Structure 1
Amino acid sequence: MIARWTGMACLVGALAYPAFSHGTEQERHLTPAQTSQIDGDIQAFLKRFDVTGAAIAVIDRGHVVYTQAYGLRSRDGQLSVRTDTPFEIGSITKQFTAAAILQLQEAGKLSIDAPLATYLPDAPHAKEVTLRQLLSHTSGLQDYLSGPEPESEIDRLASHPISYRDLTARIQNLPLAFEPGSHWSYSNTGYLLLGRVIEVVSGESYRAYLQRHILSPLGMSHTFTYADAVQPTGTALGYRHVEGRRERSPDLHPGWTGAAGFLVSTLSDLERWDRGLASGRIVSIADYDAMKNETVTTGGQKTGYGLGLFVSKVFDQPRTGHTGGTQGFTAADEYFPQQQTRIIALTNSGDKTPEAGEAITNIVFTRLHPALVAKADEPAGHEPAGVNAMARSSFGELQAGTVYRSFTAKLGGRLVEGPGKKLMAQFAGYGNVSRAIFKGAEERDHQTWYRYVLIFSPGVRMDYCVRIDGDRVAGVSFG
């Protein structure tokens, strides 16, 4: 995954459910009102954020109940997205890598609690980190994408070939960010190394291993990598915005992503993957449970991540799954266990502010379970006077990146020195805050922080915390 922080209101009516194994259940649980609301909200979202195309699937209690396609897979020739259009899925690839590692452990060929040096003695910090820590992003290894170059230079470099040795050399001499196991930090490096472990232990290339042990057994005939010499016709092209202008995204070289994020797939193949994984066909049920079990640091802090799967809540509802993003695509594959509902969204928009894939899954869930969402969005009681206004105004100033009147002089000065520009680039694209929902106060290091959920538009929301000193904001954090 390479993380990067007009004409889109076209709804394509083709429902290509024959590509799914459960097509006879189409729309079994969705009313015409729900489908109309979902489509209207998604079209509005795509238009507002200028997303070129998208495809969605809703799976209820194991049955595909709705699929739909929107917009264009290619602006050249105005080619429409179909529900069987392949999209890059970015870091959703990490689920496959994690499952492959667990398969090899079940076969007695490795142990996830062994040091990395057991399999890759020359890897960075190989004696200090375990495979489990790589799987859970608790290794402390620096991300190879966070080099000394400016982001624009990484963007250029990632379009050119690079060897495994040169990629690991980028972080070879960097210290660990923290003692392994003590904290959580998302690291593509960990999954790059896990992909190499798979090759060394199995004696196969990563691509060949996936094909023989995962893709073929599950009948995932429309999943491939953008390293493959022969690729299906009809694959979506990626787009993104640079300084407000939409452009074709540059092609990533697979050497930069590999086991961390170079798969391309379809709605139906991802549904097959999810069903196969959950049924014990890929790894044992015990190992699938381990993938969904939230990792806890050595200090007792929850991380929000298991082994290849995020473990979180949205609308106060448990959720497991993964998102993915490359320079021209975002995707989300999210499961809500209490509702037994899975929502998959694939888009050919590389913008991360907001991520279209995750926003679309939020939109769909909101229309499927409006009462749950309404309850989750009820404000907590005892909101201090004036704090809501300060939360809204301070976030607006972070988006504008010019003056910081809502902040204390100390924090405002720090923002001007540099972080302000980064935060402006990260948040400006969300648009205006339509609602700031107070969710209570909490103590951190003897200081009171006020928690909010900021709502921007259907599906687009963010956790935002502020600390107040007098009538100014003295600290902010983002969930």
Structure 2
Amino acid sequence: MLLFRSAQIRLPAVALLAAASLAGLVYAPARAAEAPADHDRTLTRQLEELTKAPGGPPGAIAVLKRGTRTDVYRAGVARIGKPRPIAVTDHMRIASTAKAFSGAVSLQLVDRGKLRTDDTIGKVLPRLPRAWHRVTLRQLLNHTSGLPDYTMDPEFLDLVTADPRRHFNSRRLLDFVADEPLGFRPGSRYNYSNSDNIAVALMAEAVTGRRYEELLAQLVYRPLNLRSTSLPQGYRMPEPYMRGYDVTPPNPPEDISEALSASGVWASGGIVSTPKDMTSFIRAYAGGKLISDRTRRQQLNLVNGASEPAGPGKNKAGLAIFRYTTRCGVVYGHTGNFPGYTQLIAATPDGKRSLTVSLTTQVNKTNKPELLERLRTVEENFVCALLRK
């Protein structure tokens, strides 16, 4: 999630930390005691180099799962000043990878006959502006809707700047841009908008009469046994969690894990989860286990467009999922970024091989373009390791 990409917002200090050396804390892949393969050492070194780069994260973790075998790669620490690596059970803000969850909910409702991908905002959410009424669920899910992005609205940004922990009415977030027309004719081009998945969640609520949080639990958390995943409204993080930092040299890293209320991002990026749960989710989601083959064919009807931030290789957009075509092969997934965190989740089309990469600082094309390109290279190298025979 590229939150606040139109403004440089300095969040108030949650804790102003003295510069702390990470002391080269790097952890090899977690598995049976054996000499690590050369490619394992290379991948670990690449994560370490990210943590040492200017503006890089204090901590990083990557989880590769092939069948029943899991390899965990770590660098840095879960919290500055504490010599503990990030664990797969540490909570984190998953940023815009939460949009894949709205895809999982809405596409299951398509399978159940509650929604159709051609259903329009006008049909399902008639209270929303008439200018938006032609936009379809499909166009919301693949970011071709033209909806103005509420996170770029000056009033919204002013409110967040004045009080980052402000509690928003999540179901009224689109009110910030209700007086704005569509940016283009629906379906005519791609433009990533955080408003899209707010509208998707509102559609799901409208056709079921149930809260989006309840639908997540019924259709995603329980079937996949995601015991550490939730969509909170406040700013508190559940323990244990990896700290998220604002890393802006020459200032010392600033812990902003609990600086922002999740109510202001909701279905677009407010979910909290763990690397372990996200591994389970993306294997099922990218592997098509949650939806019918018919609906999956619609989901994988791709358009030109990249996730935010861009994922490894060449990106194309489906319905709440992206295809990443790398030099070693294809994976499907989603990325995200939020103050303090950057995420990638991806899996092979059969869901048997998966990758999650989590950093404890925000990296995107606006705030750290050079570091993003390094990250995308590292992610592609991890995809190649994942797909290796």
User: Which interval holds the TM-score relative to the shorter structure?
Assistant: 0.7 to 0.9
Q: Secondary structure at the match of 1:313?
A: strand
Please tell me whether residue 122 in structure 1 is matched to residue 127 in structure 2: yes
- Structure 1: distance between partners of 2:33 and 2:201: 39
Q: Indicate the residue corresponding to 1:276 in structure 2.
A: 284
Between Structure 1 and Structure 2, whose CA radius of gyration is higher?
1
Change (3 A) 1:362 1:216: same
Q: How does 1:246-395 map to 2 (within 5 A)?
A: 246-249=253-256, 251-278=259-286, 280-295=288-303, 304-315=316-327, 317-335=329-347, 341-352=353-364, 353=368, 354-355=371-372, 358=376, 360-365=378-383
CA displacement 1:190-248 (0-9 Å, x = unmatched)? 10111112222222221121112211111111212343799642111210224642212
Q: 1:277 to 1:167 in 2, by over 3 A?
A: closer
The sequence identity of aligned pairs, in percent, is 24
Relative to structure 1, is the Cα distance of residues 187 and 47 closer, same or farther in structure 2, using a 3 angstrom cutoff? same
For residues 17-96 of structure 1, what are the structure 2 equivalents within 5 Å? 32-49=37-54, 50-60=56-66, 62-75=67-80, 77-96=82-101
Instruction: Write out per-residue CA displacement over residues 358-408 of structure 1, whole angstroms, 9 at most, x where no aligned residue.
Output: 4542242356689xxxxxxxxxxxxxxxxxxxxxxxxxxxxxxxxxxxxxx
Contact 2:167 2:233 in 1 (8 A): no
Distance of 1:237 and 1:152 partners within structure 2: 25
The one of 158, 176, 189 equivalent to 2:195 is 189
Deviation at 1:159, TM superposition (A): 3.2
* CA–CA distance in structure 1, aligned partners of residues 89 and 29 of structure 2: 10
Alignment CA distance shift 1:215-1:63 (3 Å): same
Instruction: Pick from 15, 26, 35 the counterpart of residue 11 of structure 1.
Output: 26
* CA distance, structure 1, for counterparts of residue 233 and residue 28 of structure 2: 32
Q: Structure 2 matches for 1:210-249, cutoff 5 A?
A: 210-227=216-233, 232-242=238-248, 244-245=250-251, 246-249=253-256
Closer, same or farther in 2 for the Cα pair 1:4/1:348, shift >3 Å?
Answer: farther
Task: State whether residues 155 and 176 of structure 2, in contact with CA within 8 Å, keep that contact through their aligned partners in structure 1.
Answer: no
Superposed displacement of residue 104, structure 1: 1.0
Shifted more, 335-344 versus 159-168: the winner is 335-344
Q: TM-score, with normalisation over the residues of structure 1?
A: 0.66
Q: Which has the higher contact order (CA 8 A, sep 6+)?
A: 2
Taking the aligned partners of 2:350 and 2:226, their CA distance within structure 1 comes to: 27
Letter in 1 for 2:26: L
- Look up the SS of the partner of 1:304 in the other structure: strand
Question: What is the root-mean-square deviation in Å for CA atoms of aligned residues?
Answer: 3.3
- Alpha-carbon separation, structure 1, partners of 2:59 and 2:286: 29
Counterpart CA distance in 1 for 2:97 and 2:77 is 22
Distance in 2 (CA, whole Å) between partners of 1:182 and 1:38 is 40
Q: 1:239 to 1:4 in 2, by over 3 A?
A: farther
Q: Secondary structure at the match of 1:225?
A: coil
8 Å CA contact 1:320, 1:335 repeated in 2: yes
What does residue 17 of structure 2 align with? none
The one-letter code matched in structure 2 to 1:10 is L
Letter in 1 for 2:3: A
Q: CA offset at residue 274 of structure 1?
A: 2.3
Q: For structure 2, which runs of at least 5 residues remain unmatched after alignment?
A: 6-19, 306-313
Structure ranking higher in strand proportion: 1
Q: What's the secondary structure of 1:70's corresponding residue?
A: strand
The number of aligned residues is: 356
The answer to whether the aligner puts 1:112 opposite 2:117 as a matched pair is yes
Question: Given that residues 286 and 346 in structure 2 are in contact (C-alpha distance below 8 angstroms), is that contact kept between their aligned partners in structure 1?
Answer: no
- 178-187 vs 194-203, which deviates more? 194-203
Give how far 1:13 is off: 5.3
Change beyond 3 A, Cα 1:312–1:79: closer
- TM-fit CA distance, 1:176: 1.0
